[in-house]
Structure 1
């Protein structure tokens, strides 16, 4: 007991997880820090990031600091036909940090079941995942939630609506972001029709406690394959330990990369931690690269998330406040007005005060006033549960958040602009001035155009006028500034408006409050549209 008091929460959790996995029949797998780079190069689609630290060994071999453990286990497990092998590991991996972008050593535990894997083995993995989260929560204090879905259900629906293969990754990315508005647009562009687009968007509604979701998911089935996937989910839930059921939700929009996950998929969250503390699922495709006919299921536990999980505040009868990051300035005024119209908070002129935090205790809402470019950062890191941010900032930052609603505020578009009558010379790189470097690079990469980026922070229109660049990539609302300076829009490629975003972990624990806010905003948007129509 005295020893336990000396251990840090992460250390206590590590000991308990090890005991749990060994009791489940898992054998410890240990690997060195290095692996031959060829393993990762040949299996890049199975890695969380394609960025790997490499070096040349004294014997000339190209080695890598391991970015992943599952690949090594899948390679070395080699189960015999009909055999099931169970492993657990406690290793450090080396990946780019979500916070800094620099490489970081990440403490990771996990287990893998490889070989003959059926419903019993999948159910065991899900049950152990739930027990793992329970151990993590006991070590730190916050609540936990395990969210499960099935890639087979999504894939079968994509088949049923006739989504072309080349469009599916794009559709999945919008599902992962819970971006219903973008998903509908992409689905229509993919040619699945209005009914198909609505069916795909309907996946976003199939989320919540299993008892509520399963009947609706069954009614939405369009094929035997969808029904079979749902049956696997139902079977896995039956293996859960007593008392875990209320903390396990279904989310039929939960998806991973199609090259990796092919069946059940799940993620675990700790209250107060901004990112999933556990990820896993069926990954038969990877297992079969090394052992034909094998199946595999497993998960990783990210122990470092315990350092980020803030213990919840003292127990109170009142629900926790919903924290909203609002952009300062003109867009912030519009957003605040829309929130007030939707009954989400009391009307207040926050410009009349120097306060950076505005609370409405009656509505259970706390608003932070931050720079527009920082909204997504506050939300992604969990300092805010909800944020309202322009799509331009969201795309440039690539923040890992849910995009829940298009408010329609601040409509404009991202454009390529240049001198009127500009003629591109494909024989040399195009010089592009912009503050949206990621957006510009991705746009011109899709065009197959070689460019030279010139990063500027303001007065972008000056660049082509003074010969610093050939063209610019910038936001255009009316085009008046361009015209006054002898410039013109050459092409517009991204519609922009203010979007409601949510932290992925907060969304799990404050779903009811978030949905109430979204309902209020949708009502206010609809009333504005109706009033505008009547005045025409």
Structure 2
């Protein structure tokens, strides 16, 4: 991190350098008009239009560096914040609505195990040894007998850095704790999930004393706008004035809908932001109450 000391006038923003979060982060920064060029895959890139330096780090390190004050801002997974035990050292600014995963306890389908309690006292392999240890220590406390506790029996948690899903097939573990996104890798490995330790997604975090709080606020506002633009569309329609109250219950907007009179005094025009995933059903409901000229507009960016 020595080179970072040479960037005293820039806000330091840590981005995952590879993996499941990297491409999402690059798209998010582009949408927020944070322009940079990363030379020859270097791990530091200067933003051209803002006093920011992007620091590309493994996602697992970002939570630690933000928590210790080495960088001002970072994007990482909620799982990483918990695994690094820095939740009390950072501020979680917002969820970013990508990188959705579940940290789950998995066992071979052929094992016949279908309850997590059956793994108490056995061997677990994981890359999340802190979270797994906390999870199974509670199970040990609840399900091991006093005699077993006195003998020092407990669930053994062993750390591995990768290929966790192969541990059971190789006879290295009775179960694993690993991230599940689609579940395909788990199925191919002949595993199934029997318990969820944590649900996680990407989040924007900052240290408790960022070097430029005003710039942090600006970046946050931009990122919120990009995320909202992906989640929402703008719906425009005409409705009889007598049906406005019912229509605005269907499309209440984020704050309130915009209602404009038309030349025909019996009709008004309504504009409202609606969730993209609900728009088809919303349009059906509007049509049922007599709405006409229902038009959907894509939102490229916004401030919310």
Provide TM-score, normalisation by structure 1.
0.38
Give the deviation of 1:335 after TM superposition: 0.8
- Whether 1:422 aligns to 2:113 is yes
Give secondary structure in 1 for the equivalent of 2:232: helix
1:164-179 to structure 2, matched below 5 A, reads: none
User: How many angstroms apart in 2 are the aligned matches of 1:502 and 1:426?
Assistant: 40
- Whether 1:533 aligns to 2:277 is yes
User: How many angstroms apart in 2 are the aligned matches of 1:353 and 1:519?
Assistant: 30
- Whether 1:524 aligns to 2:230 is no
Runs (5+) with no aligned partner, structure 1: 1-309, 314-319
Structure 1 pair 527/417, CA: closer, same or farther in 2 (3 Å)?
Answer: same
| Residue matched to 2:50 | 363
- Whether 1:493 aligns to 2:237 is no
Contact 2:37 2:47 in 1 (8 A): no
Runs (5+) with no aligned partner, structure 2: 144-153, 234-275, 281-304
Q: Could you report, residue by residue, the CA deviation over 1:314-360 in whole angstroms, capped at 9, with x for unpaired residues?
A: xxxxxx422101111141221121122123x12x564x732221112
Identify the structure with the greater helix proportion. Answer: 1
Provide TM-score, normalisation by structure 2.
0.64
Give the deviation of 1:379 after TM superposition: 1.6
Query: Which residue of 50, 56, 59 corresponds with 1:372?
Result: 59
Query: Which residue of 433, 437, 441 corresponds with 2:125?
Result: 433
Query: Which residue of 402, 408, 411 corresponds with 2:100?
Result: 411
Query: Which residue of 2, 19, 22 corresponds with 1:332?
Result: 22
Give the deviation of 1:362 after TM superposition: 2.2
Q: Could you report, residue by residue, the CA deviation over 1:144-169 in whole angstroms, capped at 9, with x for unpaired residues?
A: xxxxxxxxxxxxxxxxxxxxxxxxxx
User: How many angstroms apart in 1 are the aligned matches of 2:67 and 2:32?
Assistant: 25
Contact 1:339 1:520 in 2 (8 A): no
- Whether 1:386 aligns to 2:76 is no
Give the deviation of 1:499 after TM superposition: 1.2
Query: Which residue of 150, 163, 166 corresponds with 1:462?
Result: 166
User: How many angstroms apart in 1 are the aligned matches of 2:60 and 2:76?
Assistant: 8
1:89-488 to structure 2, matched below 5 A, reads: 320-330=9-19, 331-343=21-33, 345-346=34-35, 348=36, 350=38, 353-399=40-86, 400-420=89-109, 421-423=112-114, 426=118, 429-447=121-139, 448-449=142-143, 450-488=154-192
Contact 2:63 2:76 in 1 (8 A): yes
Structure ranking higher on relative contact order (CA contacts 8 Å, 6+ apart): 2
User: How many angstroms apart in 1 are the aligned matches of 2:10 and 2:206?
Assistant: 14
Contact 2:119 2:155 in 1 (8 A): no
Give secondary structure in 2 for the equivalent of 1:461: helix
User: How many angstroms apart in 1 are the aligned matches of 2:64 and 2:197?
Assistant: 25
Contact 2:119 2:175 in 1 (8 A): no
Identify the structure with the greater strand proportion. Answer: 2
Structure 1 pair 428/410, CA: closer, same or farther in 2 (3 Å)?
Answer: closer
User: How many angstroms apart in 1 are the aligned matches of 2:120 and 2:197?
Assistant: 23
Contact 1:416 1:491 in 2 (8 A): yes
User: How many angstroms apart in 1 are the aligned matches of 2:30 and 2:23?
Assistant: 11
| Residue matched to 1:142 | none
User: How many angstroms apart in 1 are the aligned matches of 2:214 and 2:221?
Assistant: 10
Give the deviation of 1:361 after TM superposition: 4.2
Give secondary structure in 1 for the equivalent of 2:168: helix
Give secondary structure in 2 for the equivalent of 1:353: helix
